[in-house]
Structure 1
Amino acid sequence: MPNLIIHHVTLYSYSQPVSFGEHRIMVRPREGHDQWLTEARLDIDPAPAAIRQIHDVFGNSVTIARFDRPATQLSIESTIRMEHHPLESHAVQIEDYAKLYPFTYSSEDMPDLLRSIERVNHDPWRMIDDWADGFVRRDGPTDTLAMLTAITAAICRDFTYVPRQEKGTQTPLETLRLGQGTCRDFAVLMIEAVRALGFAARFVSGYVYNPAIGDGNVGGGNTHAWVRIFLPGEGWVEFDPTNGIVGNRGLVRVAIARDPYQAVPISGTYSGLPESFTGMTVSVEVDLEAEPTSARSAPSTTEQSAIPAAHGA
Structure 2
Amino acid sequence: MELSVTHETRYRYQSAVLQAHHVAYLKPISNSEQTLHTFSLHMEPAPEVKAWSTDRYGQQRCYFELTEAHEELVVVAHSRLTTRALPKSLQGKLHQVRLPAGLAWQDAAKAMQYEVGQAFDDAREYAQPSPLAPVHALFREYALRSDTVGKTAHQLAADLCHRIFAEFDYKPEATDVSTPPLRALDLKAGVCQDFAQVMIASLRSVGLAAKYVSGYLLTQPPPGQPRLIGADASHAWVSVYCPQAGWLEFDPTNDCLAGETHVRLAYGRDYGDVAPLRGVIRGGGAHVLRVAVTVMPEG
Match of 2:168 among 159, 162, 166: 159
Where 1:192 maps in the other structure, the secondary structure is: helix
Match of 2:282 in 1: 271
Structure 1 distance, partners of 2:144, 2:211, is: 20
Q: Please, which runs of 5 or more residues in structure 1 have no aligned partner?
A: 215-219, 291-313
Counterpart amino acid of residue 179 in structure 1: K
Residue 302 of structure 1 aligns with which residue? none
User: Which residue of 2 is the match for residue 289 of structure 1?
Assistant: 298
Q: Distance in 2 between matches of 1:199 and 1:122?
A: 11
Corresponding residue for residue 300 of structure 1: none
Q: Aligned residue for 1:102?
A: 106
Deviates more, 1:149-158 or 1:244-253: 244-253
- Using a 3 Å threshold, how does the CA distance of structure 1 residues 144 and 201 change in structure 2: closer, same or farther? closer
User: Aligned match of 2:213 in 190, 193, 204?
Assistant: 204
TM-score norm. by structure 2 comes to 0.83
Instruction: Please state how far the C-alpha of 1:132 moved relative to its aligned partner.
Output: 1.0
Contact 1:162–1:181 (8 Å) recurs in 2: yes
For residues 161 and 109 of structure 1, what CA distance do their matches in structure 2 show?
39
Evaluate the alpha carbon distance shift between residue 251 and residue 70 of structure 1 in structure 2; reply closer, same or farther with a 3 A threshold. Answer: same
Contact preservation (8 Å) 1:208, 1:250: yes
Q: Distance in 1 between matches of 2:107 and 2:216?
A: 32
Alignment of 1:114-263 (within 5 A): 114-120=124-130, 121=134, 123=136, 126-138=137-149, 141-164=150-173, 167-210=176-219, 221-263=232-274
1:175 and 1:45 map into 2 onto residues whose CA distance is 35
Could you report, residue by residue, the CA deviation over 1:82-125 in whole angstroms, capped at 9, with x for unpaired residues? 10003252575344xx1x33224384354x233211234363xx
Residue deviations 1:154-173, cap 9 Å, x none? 11111101124975243333
Contact 1:208–1:252 (CA under 8 A) maintained in structure 2: yes
- The TM-score with structure 1 as length reference comes to 0.79
Q: Secondary structure at the match of 1:32?
A: coil
Report the AA paired with residue 183 of structure 1.
Answer: C
**Deviates most, 199-208 or 61-70:** 61-70
Residues 1:244 and 1:25: Cα distance change in structure 2 (over 3 Å): same
C-alpha distance 144-118 of structure 1, shift in aligned 2 (>3 A): closer
Aligned twin of 2:7: 8
AA of the residue aligned to 1:117: A
Please report how far the alpha carbon of residue 175 of structure 1 lies from its aligned counterpart in structure 2 after TM superposition: 2.2
CA distance in 1, matches of 2:206, 2:3: 36
Identity of aligned residues (%): 25
> Deviating runs (4+, > 6 A) in structure 1?
211-214
Q: CA deviation at 1:262?
A: 1.1
Partner of 1:93: 100
- For residues 145 and 14 of structure 1, do their structure 2 counterparts lie closer, same or farther at Cα, with a shift above 3 Å needed? closer
Q: Which runs of 5+ in 2 are unaligned?
A: 91-96, 113-117, 224-230
